[in-house]
Amino acid sequence: MNKNRPYGFCVETPVGVITIVFEEKPFLLRNILLPAKGKNVPVDSVYGAPLGSKGGSDKIKEISQLILDGLNGKMIYPPWDIMFMEGFTVLQKAVYRQTAKISYGFLSTYKKIAEGIGRPGAYRFVGTTLAKNPFPILIPCHRVIRSDNKIGGFGGGSTLKQRLIQHEAADSLL
């Protein structure tokens, strides 16, 4: 039995079912999958991992709670030490860390993220990097919009991005 085999665990959230993809020993968060575009369910599988096959571990419960907290107005801090970031450059990681600082209910722009990492002209690079974000919600790329206030792209689709922004805006008004 391969101990590093990825598993999927589904979490019911206010925006649909989100899938956490992870390895068990040692625990490593591989990916977070948003609901499939236009659906309220996750993709069927990833990396050949059967969905819902594991999930009793404390780490999975912690990640699930972080996701739920992140969707329910609590400030969360990504667990960088267990997030699989292999293959990303130092600059891409800087984009993710800068994006993770955006508070619930607030928006930033690709340009502001670029400025925040010391590369003011690299806003397209920021957009390309965020398009590859393996950990949406933990790294809240849905809170990044274009400088002209248009929504911009999103791995879960523009409809889900708009729903997330509206969900957070409504909570912020309470």
CA-nearest of 18, 38, 51 to 134 is 18
pTM for the structure as a whole = 0.86
User: What Cα–Cα distance (Å) separates residue 66 from each residue in 99, 125, 127?
Assistant: 16, 27, 24
Query: 168 is written with which tokens?
Result: 């957070």
DSSP 141: G
**Concatenated DSSP letters for 61-99?**
HHHHHHHHHHHTT------GGGB--TT--HHHHHHHHHH
Task: Give CA–CA dist 16/9, Å, rounded.
Answer: 14
**Residue 172: in which H helix or E strand, if any?**
helix 158-173
Mean pLDDT along residues 148-160: 89
Task: Give CA–CA dist 54/57, Å, rounded.
Answer: 8
Residue 36 has pLDDT above 60, yes or no: yes
Residue 174 has pLDDT above 50, yes or no: no
User: What Cα–Cα distance (Å) separates residue 91 from each residue in 69, 125, 126, 131, 146?
Assistant: 28, 9, 9, 14, 20
- Return the exposure string of 71-96: e unless at least 16 CB atoms fall within 10 Å of the residue's CB, then b: beeeebebeeeebbeeebeeebebbb
pLDDT category of residue 56 using cuts at 50, 70 and 90: low
pLDDT category of residue 172 using cuts at 50, 70 and 90: low
Mean pLDDT along residues 68-97: 94
Q: Which residues are annotated as catalytic?
A: 141
